[in-house]
A and B are shown apart, each in its own frame.
Chain A
Amino acid sequence: MGTWTWFHKLASPPHFYRIAGRLVPWFGIPAVLLTAAGIYGGLVLAPPDYQQGDAFRIIYVHAPSAWLSLMCYTTMAAAAAVGLVWRIKLAHALAAASAPIGASFAFLCLATGSLWGRPMWGTWWEWDARLTSQLLLLFLYLGYMALRSAFDDLQRADRASAVLAIVGVVNVPVIHFSVYWWNTLHQGSTVLRKGGPAMPLSMLVPLLTCFLGFTLAYAALACVRVRGEVLQRERNAAWLRELSAT
């Protein structure tokens, strides 16, 4: 039991507020450094692709955004489930904090994908399975945030949106595979050169650095946003008044 007390303490808002505040620089500074290093490695050091030339370099923003948009949704749904089952307010706060971050990454992924598509496929938007399922993921985020904003009562908003997040996460694989199925049946002409030769190390290392940097950036942003949520939720609590008095 003793090993779990740190975990239970984490669920108390004042404790978490302090911890999260201390964690922000620990996540944020490496995030900035790693992302900067990864971007530099990707844009300057990595050799141009033999087929796509310099255009492929957008992958250093595109792929980490895609990964994070999915990870944020999973985090959101897991936090929502924890909040719903054990009635932990902080878990709801984390879910609420993750949604706008995830939506931003989904949007960033779509925007960079569109920019990438212009020189590669000759069009800003292609009804490609990956782009389309990413678009639907963005819609799921928007629906979640719309539902949250429709309630005045925060607790109700928490629990209703938690149910939606769980329903959504059950549906994400169904949507994903049906979109792929739809696409492969509808078009055989689009030449997406996925695969090809394996990525050389000089391209891969900056990409992995970017992945790590973006993920840490999410952690830092989530800490800041959860702190904001805690401030909003606990605005009448005694510990906050003490904190602001000192």
Chain B
Amino acid sequence: MSGLTTGLARAAWLVFERDVRLAFRRWEQVTHPVVFFVMVATLFPLALSPEPALLRLVAPGIVWVAALLSSLLALETLFRADLDDGTLEQLTLSGQPLAWLLLAKTLAHWLLSGVPLAIAAPLVAASLAAPGSAAPVLVTSLFLGSGVLSFLGAVGAALTLGSRKGSVLLSLLVLPLAMPVLIFGARATDLAMRGEAAGGPLLLLAAMLILAVTLAPLACSAAVRISLE
């Protein structure tokens, strides 16, 4: 394509910067999933028992399930507004590789939805009587895991764009695919809370992240093209 004046790196940066800038203009888009995350985590002590010994036992699972649900909620905003105002169509027509642009878009979404969760998680874990020593592993696992969730979820969000019933369907599609992330994320946190080495599950999460970053944008671009037809 000789007519293109924008290089790949520049194009990706423009998409990334646009999404981050937009998110700062609509700040609630970033804060609402975090508030939801904290609220879901609050439900468990109320439903189970305020006993610290019990809570400490189930804290990794609670934090991870809450984070998973919250990341599902955040997926709603990934493409919807861009579909409505035609941005997504313009990206498809831009002549740049769509998968590449969607990779940049999903990276921005990861930064805006996953990183806040990772930052808020130690507070939530501390409220569930988890020891502070597990915080670094918890933050790392959520950082890596939310990346996988963003990329998998982007495929789901793109597939459900053209359908009538968005959000419930999206959960049905993404949740079974997200189970491995939940397993290894919660496992890493659990190991760290017992004071054991959590390197294994963290590395597996990182491997899944690499796989997702490599393959998911391709599926995502196919899905976006189908939805725009």
Contacts and interface: CB of A to CB of B under 8 A. Distances in A.
Interface of A: 84, 136, 139-140, 142-143, 146-147, 150-152, 156, 159-160, 163-164, 166-168, 170-171, 174-175, 178-179, 181-182, 185
**Interface size class, chain B:** 20 to 34
A146 B179 contact: no
A168 B179 CA distance: 12
B179 A175 contact: yes
B177 to A, nearest CB: 5
A95 B177 CA distance: 20
Contacts of A84: 222
B180 A150 contact: no
Contacts of A143: 172-173, 176
A150 B222 CA distance: 18
A171 B175 CA distance: 12
A143 B169 CA distance: 7
Interface of B: 155, 159-160, 162-165, 169, 172-173, 175-177, 179-180, 183-184, 187, 204, 208, 211, 215-216, 219, 222-223, 226-227, 229
Nearest to B181: A178
Contacts of A182: 183, 187
Overall SS of chain A's interface: helix
A156 B179 CA distance: 27
A240 B218 CA distance: 38
B185 to A, nearest CB: 11
B34 to A, nearest CB: 27
A158 to B, nearest CB: 9
B187 A163 contact: no
Contact of B176 (A136, A147, A156, A166): A136
Contacts of B173: 143, 146-147, 164
A168 B177 contact: yes
Contacts of B176: 136, 139-140, 143, 175
A160 B172 CA distance: 15
Given A163-B155, A164-B173, A181-B183, A156 B215 contact: no
B208 A174 contact: yes
A170 B223 CA distance: 16
B177 A171 contact: yes
Contact of A142 (B172, B183, B216): B172
Contacts of A163: 155, 159, 219, 222-223, 226
A151 B2 CA distance: 38
Contact of A167 (B165, B179, B219, B229): B219
